[in-house]
Amino acid sequence: MTLIIILSTIAASIGIDQITKAIVRANMTVGETIPIIKDIFHFTYVRNEGAAFGMLSEHRWVFMTLSIVALIALSVYLIKFCEEGILTKIGIALIIGGGIGNMIDRICLKYVVDMIDCRFIDFYVFNFADCCVCVGSGITILGFILSMIKEQKAKKAASSDENTGE
């Protein structure tokens, strides 16, 4: 059951990301912005040729290679070694799905389509895959913390049982 949840999370992340990007490419021109809530939230079509926030645009292949290695490492960890709970596994699956979503763009288009423009915080334009990576990272960290707390409680209970002679 866990494998189905993990694979569904990865597939949904990639699917939603690619669908939203296809809609933007089909209906907007590069640089076009559509205010949803004026000066707060816009859809703005941007082509990002670099890594996160346009960094390393001249070194696309280096970044792509590192991304592929990271995606493979996360996938192997998730399948072979991850003993944490479902929350951690879902977080890692979101990171993998988001990474694959952006990698598809880099390979097929040679740039990543970005469109989510949160102007109220004066931030870079990003996409659904980026959201998956960020939310997945937060969920993974939370999962690891909860796993450590559970482990500490189990050790404390075992130690308490040992001290009472049970």
Q: Which residues have a catalytic role annotated? A: 114, 130
Is-contact 100 71, C-beta < 8 A?
yes
| Strand 112-118 relative to strand 33-37, pairing | unpaired
Q: How far is residue 119's CA from residue 94's CA, in Å, rounded to a whole number?
A: 25
CB burial string 121-133: b at 16+ within 10 A, e below: eeeebbbbbbbbb
What three-state secondary structure class fits 50?
A: coil
Q: How far is residue 75's CA from residue 41's CA, in Å, rounded to a whole number?
A: 34
